[in-house]
Amino acid sequence: MSKKRLEPILLKEPDKKRKNITNQDAMKLKDDAMDEKCVVLDLVATDIYIYAQNDAVPLERRQAEILGYLIDQQRKSCSRQKIEEAIWHDQLVSSSAVKRYISALRKILSQALGRDDIAKNVLVTIGNGYEWRAEIPSYVLR
């Protein structure tokens, strides 16, 4: 699935600063995700995957960037404008781009987590924005 890395990986945990972890720790975290103990988004590898509940599901780069941003901000509402600024910076994007990506992410997450309630309980719409609310720990490897 991914290339073997020799250097440590940066891990972002909820409400904490990033920390370095070893490749061995990253593999353990992915194993934990496959055992339904957490969700792991791996942005380090060439092929990007979300690991959860006995499944590793591939993501497109933009999908992964948006999901990584929302996981980093978990339990905080992120407006469409904030997401656009964080992901596309100064590029002009369609006003419906974020909505389309969120819709696609919900389908992917439904598969990865084996749940049909993603929009109500995991990747939730809040006003003009979105919020990551997974009950289990969620990590982003960068």
- State how beta strands 9-12 and 138-141 pair: antiparallel
Instruction: List the CATH number of the domain containing 20.
Output: 1.10.10.10
- Greater pLDDT, 13 or 26: 26
- Burial level of 24, CB count in 10 A (0-12/13-18/19+)? exposed
Indicate whether 91 belongs to any domain. yes
Residue 4 pLDDT > 70: no
Domain count, the chain: 1
Q: Is residue 73 part of a domain?
A: yes
Q: Phi-psi region for residue 134, left (φ > 0), alpha (ψ -120 to 50) or beta?
A: beta
**What does pTM read for this prediction?**
0.89
Contact (Cβ atoms closer than 8 angstroms) between residue 124 and residue 134:
no
Which tens digits make up the pLDDT trace of 55-93? 899 999 999 999 999 999 989 999 999 999 999 998 999
Torsion on CA atoms 39, 111, 75, 138, rounded to nearest 10: 0
Mean pLDDT score of the chain: 90
Residue 33 lies in a domain: yes
**Which of the 8 DSSP states describes residue 118?**
H
Q: What angle do helix axes 80-88 and 61-72 make, rounded to 10 degrees?
A: 120
Is the Cβ–Cβ distance between 69 and 98 less than 8 Å?
no
pLDDT the model gives residue 36: 93
- Residue-range definition of the domain harbouring residue 57: 9-141
Task: With a cut of 90, say whether residue 5 has pLDDT above it.
Answer: no
Percent of the chain with pLDDT over 90: 74
Indicate whether 3 belongs to any domain. no
The answer to whether residue 1 scores a pLDDT higher than 70 is no
Structure tokens at 122: 């995991």
